[in-house]
A and B are shown apart, each in its own frame.
Chain A
């Protein structure tokens, strides 16, 4: 996403206030600041670029329309994360999404992703290395996709997004003990698919 607007001048709270006062450019700044974070989360949850883009936009739209209810008890980013997690979970649960994923599985194995550099930006210029990395990431993503949505949300938040157990509990709205048990179960499932890859 192009960052042609300065996003560092004002903090999130100020930008929220300005958005509520009717300044749409302030919300653009918030989108630029948190867009990549939300997009990455949605991609890891959904395993598809287009779905991730739609879902991240949905989350921003929901946040924009509910901005008046944001009380500032938590950080704006945390609030936004929570909306995105719920949006992704709803999407994963929707019949339409399940049908589309089934069609993708029937059409191919998702190896196309392995051939593509991540979001068109490779970290290595070596094509072989790039391919291997892409393939490994695609297999990890497929293993993640196979997880039940609740376990996937916890694994993505803790292991990819680097959230603590407490933050994950707050974002998913489940107790701390549930976070621990879901994470342990998710890792056990992933082991059978990722042994020798990671």
Chain B
């Protein structure tokens, strides 16, 4: 056994806690090693001296003083003690600071459980809820409490945060032939009749034909779409398709000069979301920025953002 190993074990050895084999090795080593033998001698002498130290007795007035202190009512916990000694456990200032920072970050990044429960397609954009005759939208307008505190009724929207509505954005690339289905001269939904919409479609198809004569002819698919739009009458209009899926148009953003709409905001029952996408297929390529939740009840707000082909 080497000196270093022996000296590591000597403390246990003098206390009689070393295993028999180790104890024998230590004894053999110390018999031939002066340094380790001196260390062993010191430890033995040390133990003897320490255990022989005179025991101190409590002062004569110890009990009297103690009783005086016991008679004093326990002081109330101060604010510092409450903050840094919760449950009687000392909490260092550094730990308290770290906890506070973590709590702050948590509050900032995760404002409520609704976001965690219903995370997917929020874009950060919020719009004020506008009035609507649709009863489902009145449900949206209800003031909301955090979901932890109450169970959200099945009829109410779950896509709300602090009284505002979450908007699911769908980027929509229109086939060029579908453009007339969107032209509204900036008129909000409901003011333009289907007859006007058809006139716009006709005008577009005419322009498309002129363009086709001058430039590259539209693809067969686009031609078919244009034909279908014209033949299908009012049902070819995107708004009609939207309404057919059960959605209610809330807002449109259209350029008064060109008559082209850049976006349509609508409310739709969550269960009708898939049928909306089906309805829109014929007009272009819909690319939801994130997939909307597939389950749950209530109304969701969607913004269709249009761009050309």
Contacts and interface: CB of A to CB of B under 8 A. Distances in A.
B124 to A, nearest CB: 48
B74 interface: yes
Q: Is the interface of B mostly helix, strand, loop or mixed?
A: helix
A184 interface: yes
B55 interface: yes
A87 interface: no
B17 to A, nearest CB: 6
B193 interface: no
Nearest to B44: A198
B70 interface: yes
Interface residues of A, number: 47
B58 A1 contact: yes
A43 B74 contact: no
B125 interface: no
Contact of B11 (A44, A57, A183): A183
Interface string B9-42: 0111001010000000000000000000001001
Interface string A18-61: 00000010001001100110111001100001001100110011
A166 B47 CA distance: 18
A52 B56 contact: yes
A165 interface: yes
B57 A121 contact: yes
Given A53-B59, A198-B46, A140 B66 contact: no
A39 B59 CA distance: 9
Interface in A114-172: 118-119, 121, 123, 133, 136-137, 140, 155, 158-160, 162, 165
B54 A39 contact: no
A28 B11 contact: no
Given A56-B58, A118-B54, A159 B46 contact: yes
A65 B12 CA distance: 38
A36 B45 contact: no
Contacts of B59: 1, 39, 49, 53, 119
A195 B11 contact: no
B75 to A, nearest CB: 11
Contacts of A14: none
A81 to B, nearest CB: 15
A136 B48 CA distance: 14
Interface in B57-111: 57-60, 62-63, 65-67, 69-70, 74, 90
A25 to B, nearest CB: 10
Interface of A: 1-2, 24, 28, 31-32, 35-36, 38-40, 43-44, 49, 52-53, 56-57, 60-61, 64-65, 90, 118-119, 121, 123, 133, 136-137, 140, 155, 158-160, 162, 165, 180, 183-184, 187, 190-191, 194-195, 197-198
5 cross-chain pairs, A with B, having the tightest CB-CB distances, nearest first: A39-B58, A184-B11, A198-B49, A159-B50, A118-B54
Given A36-B56, A191-B39, 15 more contacts: A31-B62, A32-B63, A39-B62, A44-B53, A57-B62, A61-B66, A65-B74, A119-B56, A136-B49, A155-B50, A159-B50, A184-B11, A187-B11, A198-B45, A198-B48
